[in-house]
Structure 1
Amino acid sequence: MKLLQGTNRPDRENKNEPKPDLSIPTPGNHLLAEALMEWGRMSRELHKLGLLTELDRPALEAYCQNYGRWIEIEREMQKPDFKYVILTAKGNAIQNPLVGMANTAQVLMHKFLTEFGMTPSSRTRISAPKTKDDTNPFANFG
């Protein structure tokens, strides 16, 4: 891709970059229900793009688990009795800890999304091999 764009720099190429086989790893059984649903969605998309291998399992699990936590926290924050500011035992007003937890999960999700090239700006910085299009019956005819 960089050759075609004229931005290739041979001094920055990794000629010995490992190229693990593409696969969809099995998710761990510790993932939350929402995390497992996100695993199914993201693993299919990443595999179609040629970006998922067995080595990526921990990173994808971490992203999905943070996604699952974020969803659970957001549901709690949508309850009618939720308050963004609460009072401590001494009467001090503080941010509800759920707000900080949701923000932390979002920050962590974003970090993993950028690792996989799943944000608009990070997609511009990756190159992925073409994969066979199983949905196109004419894909094998050149």
Structure 2
Amino acid sequence: MSGPPKTPTHLVLVKGNPSKRAIKKNEPKPPSGVPPIPKHFDKMGKYWFKRIGDDLDAIGVMTTLDGKALELLIEAYTEYRHHCEVLAEEGYTYISTSATGEKMVKAHPAAVMKSDAWKRIRAMLGEFGMTPASRSKVGAKVPAEADPLEAFLNKRK
């Protein structure tokens, strides 16, 4: 299938259906809420799963079916942090000696793995609307801030 992926119906409704295409009426509506934390996560993974899950639930993006997608995001993020720590300790390059005795400077393998994890994180952040560009495509309903003058006038009544 060519072209961009299909936009979920709830996002089409939030955006105002700019294309005026027919809206699906039978799209599944999973219950909102944060799914349970996967048992295989370490302490950092459990922390980030709960924190990001709660943040996404607060803005109405998280459903109980999104657990696997959130798990992929958290796994990529914890892997990225691990590679950052390794590279901070060992450096981004190392010196290797070839069979002829020539010394060569090579990139640390963790640098490539860090880059790969970063690409996966960016893709998953976009799926959840967690980047400025992807967030601008979704007009989520945010409660309006109370007008200070209105609050003051209401207090006096």
- State TM-score, norm by structure 2: 0.70
- 1:135 matched residue in structure 2: none
Match of 1:86 in 2: 94
For residue 76 of structure 1, the aligned residue among 77, 82, 86 is 86
The root-mean-square deviation of aligned C-alpha atoms, in Å, is 2.2
CA deviation profile, 1:26-77 (whole Å, cap 9, x unmatched): 0111123222111111011000011111210001001011111111111121
For residue 94 of structure 2, give the secondary structure of its aligned residue in structure 1. strand
Q: 1:11 aligns with which of 21, 34, 43?
A: 21
- 1:97-108 equivalences under 5 Å are 97-108=109-120
Partner of 2:50: 40
The Cα of 1:92 is off from its aligned counterpart by 4.0
2:70 is the alignment partner of 1:57 = no
Which residue type is aligned with residue 87 of structure 2?
M
Superposition deviation, residue 20 in structure 1: 1.1
Query: Any conservation in 1 of the 2:45–2:75 contact (CA below 8 Å)?
Result: yes
- Work out the percentage of aligned pairs sharing the same amino acid: 26
Give the C-alpha shift of residue 16 in structure 1.
Answer: 3.1
* Matched residues, number: 126
**Aligned-partner residue type, residue 58 of structure 1:** K
Q: Unaligned stretches of 5+ in structure 1? A: 132-142
Which of residues 109, 115, 135 in structure 1 aligns to 2:121?
A: 109
Q: TM-score scaled to structure 1, two decimals?
A: 0.77
Residues 15 and 138, structure 2, Cα contact 8 Å, conserved in 1: no
Distance in 1 (alpha carbons) for counterparts of 2:110 and 2:22: 43
Name the counterpart of 1:122: 134
Residue 48 of structure 2 aligns to a residue in which SS? helix
Aligned to 1:140: none
**In structure 1, what is the Cα distance between the partners aligned to 2:22 and 2:108?**
47
